[in-house]
Structure 1
Amino acid sequence: MEQQGQGHWLNGLRDGYAEVGDVRLHYVEAGDGPLVVLLHGFPEFWYGWRQQIEPLAAAGFRVVAPDLRGYNLSSRPDGVDAYDIDALAADIRGLILERGAASAALVGHDWGGTVAWMTAMKHPEVVDRLVILNAAHPRKLTQGLHHPSQLQKSWYFFFFALPELPETVVRANDWHFFRHFLRDANPAYTRDEFDHYIEAWSQPGAATGMINYYRSSVRTPPKRAEAALRPIDAPTLVIWGQRDHYLGPELAEPDHDDVPHLDRVERLPDASHWVHHDEAERVTELIVDFVGPPL
């Protein structure tokens, strides 16, 4: 179903809405060819990939960048249980199939990377290749949270688990809290770019939907989360900005048993957590080279 959306913010992207299970996912789309799906992180939305969408399309790929459930123009279901990682992974499987593809190359940053990891585990048949940007493999993240240095970096995981208070805090002072998350990006985000972000954050229920990712994750018993992990079949590339203030560099490389087909970890020493913004051209080149020429 095609509807008016935000694709006009860039050069004529196609907007669409996919009915996937019990949610409706907004996405933008560009190009023709093999499907590449770009999954944004927190607190971004499809627009976080603004520097990759058109170059990837120009390289011969059909690019789909959705708003994850809870974000921007996608459905924002009530309740923490609606943001269980199994539901998030099922959304991406459903989106790939709804767009008429049997499978896709999956690219994810931050929370989008976590969803990409889990989609590749839960639904390997729809993931041809996997590219992860500054998102620790779930086992690595769990291990990291046992160390004080990573706990200090991840304090907001536990703040967001609180009821109601986080929503009040993030909305204050023109969304200062969320804008502060993006402070490390270089070059800095412009006022016009922030205006687009604020429009997305201001959608009714979006702040709660975004924060519910954290609430759901901290409610999941660690043993249950670990028991759900499976080796990933897809060839995998990890791209890592070494100046990440939220995730330590020791979390970049997954265990071989978890990702037996890891191609490599490409570390970009001057990039922050927002690696796809800081080194946009390099990230696009890495994706194109790894995903391979269109068939």
Structure 2
Amino acid sequence: MIEHIGISTAAGRFDALAAGPDDGRPVLLLHGFPQASTEWEHQLATLSAAGYRAVAPDQRGYSPGVRPERPEDYRIEDLAGDVLAIADEFGWARFDLVGHDWGGSVAWYVAAEFPERLRTLTAVSTPHPAAYARAVRTDEDQQQRSSYVPTLQNVRGAEKRLLADDASALRALFEGVVPRSHVREYVERLSEPGAMVAALNWYRGIKYSGHTGKVTVPTLYVWGTEDTAFGSTAALSTEEWVAGPYRFEMFEDITHWLPEQADEGLSRLLLEHLSAHA
């Protein structure tokens, strides 16, 4: 059974979904833009059935209780700090970390900077930030895929455009791939006062953020060949930034929304990865 919980930290109170026995091996799952903890429902249920304690928070800006207004409050260091604060609230000295999209970027950073806190890392869709940055500089295909980023960062009223006409632009991102019940949840949450601005501040906070170094913890990276945001150049070069045990898996004909579109396959890989690094 998946339960709704609150997690109080110095930054504020995070909403979260949780499943599994309280004394189970802890796994923290980080969602991406423009989604919420709901994207991990299948993985939460699978991990719970296997005896893990799985928690998926609605991250900074998505939880009403942690919604600062300034872009500079969305530095990667702050987002990583939220992850550690949540783990500390549960008393988790070490835990397994899973991240998709922006949650993947945060997970990479936590793994690089705080390896002593993690048993394993699982990154979904998102390549290592350094591999991505190099691809944006040198690969025309990745440059085209990333052309939306300046728009989200700089266009005045981008949040209004995404929510106009019953959030038609937002809904179109998920068309035919993500369950409609999940899409309704995302639209409702991002329609809350200040929520979409906060979500876009993740992009606007990039210029205030530091860089991500090499990762030494056991890492699983999963990527879909039809991902519209991240191309093969960054995906294939991610291994250069992992010095520890590394496994790379591709899903053919799967898009960016991999946790929902390939829910069973991802859950199987995740269990295999956790079991291999008990």
Query: Which bracket does the TM-score occupy, shorter chain normalised?
Result: over 0.9
Q: Which residue of 1 aligns with 2:261?
A: 278
In structure 1, runs of 5+ residues without a counterpart are 1-10
Residue type matched to 1:291 in 2?
L
- Where 1:52 maps in the other structure, the secondary structure is helix
Which amino acid is 2:108 matched to?
Answer: W
Please tell me whether the aligned partners of residues 40 and 111 of structure 1 are also in contact (alpha carbons under 8 angstroms): yes
**One-letter amino acid of the counterpart of residue 174, structure 1:** D
Deviations 1:17-67 (A, max 9, x none): 222232322111110210011111111100011121111100110000001
Which secondary structure does the structure 2 equivalent of 1:37 belong to? strand
Determine helix, strand or coil for the equivalent of 2:56. Answer: strand
Contact 1:35 1:104 in 2 (8 A): yes
**1:206 maps to what in 2?**
195
Which residue of 142, 149, 166 corresponds with 2:141? 149
Q: Does the CA-based 8 Å contact 2:131-2:234 persist in structure 1?
A: yes
TM-score by length of 1: 0.87
Is the alpha carbon distance of 1:126 and 1:285 closer, same or farther for their aligned partners in structure 2, counting shifts above 3 Å?
same
Please say if residues 89 and 122 of structure 1, whose CA atoms lie closer than 8 Å, have aligned partners that are also in contact.
no
Structural mapping, 1:167-206, within 5 Å: 167-183=159-175, 185=177, 188-190=178-180, 192-206=181-195
Deviates more, 1:270-279 or 1:110-119: 270-279
> Quick one: distance in 1 between partners of 2:117 and 2:62?
23
How many residues are aligned here?
A: 275
Alignment of 1:239-278 (within 5 A): 239-256=222-239, 258-278=241-261
Does the alignment pair 1:136 with 2:119? no
Across the aligned residues of Structure 1 and Structure 2, the Cα RMSD in angstroms comes to: 1.9
Q: Give the 3-state SS of the residue equivalent to 2:153 in structure 1.
A: coil
Q: 1:20 to 1:233 in 2, by over 3 A?
A: farther
**Shift of the alpha carbon at 1:118?**
0.6
- Is residue 290 of structure 1 aligned with residue 273 of structure 2? yes
CA distance in 2 between partners of 1:53 and 1:293 (Å): 19
Deviation at 1:238, TM superposition (A): 0.4
Contact 2:115-2:217 within 8 A present in 1 as well: yes
* Conserved? CA contact 2:48–2:54, under 8 Å: yes
Q: Which has the higher helix share?
A: 2
CA contact (8 A) 1:72 1:203 kept: no
Counterpart for residue 115 of structure 1: 106
2:89 paired with 1:98? yes
Report the Cα offset of residue 257 of structure 1.
5.0
CA deviation profile, 1:199-232 (whole Å, cap 9, x unmatched) = 1111221101100011111x24xxx74xx43221
Between the aligned partners of 2:205 and 2:270, the Cα distance in structure 1 is 30
| Paired residues of 2:170 and 2:187 also in contact (CA < 8 A) | no
Structure 1 residue 269 displacement after superposition: 0.8
In the alignment, which of 221, 232, 256 is matched to residue 238 of structure 1? 221
Partner of 1:14: 3
Distance (Å, rounded) in 1 between the aligned partners of 2:65 and 2:54: 18
| Post-superposition CA distance 1:144-180 (Å, at most 9, x none) | 1123321211122100112541111111011122222
Structure 1 residues 278 and 165 mapped into 2: Cα distance closer, same or farther (>3 Å)?
same
Deviation at 1:197, TM superposition (A): 1.7
Using the alignment, how far apart are the partners of 1:168 and 1:107 within structure 2? 31
Task: Please tell me whether the aligned partners of residues 238 and 266 of structure 1 are also in contact (alpha carbons under 8 angstroms).
Answer: yes
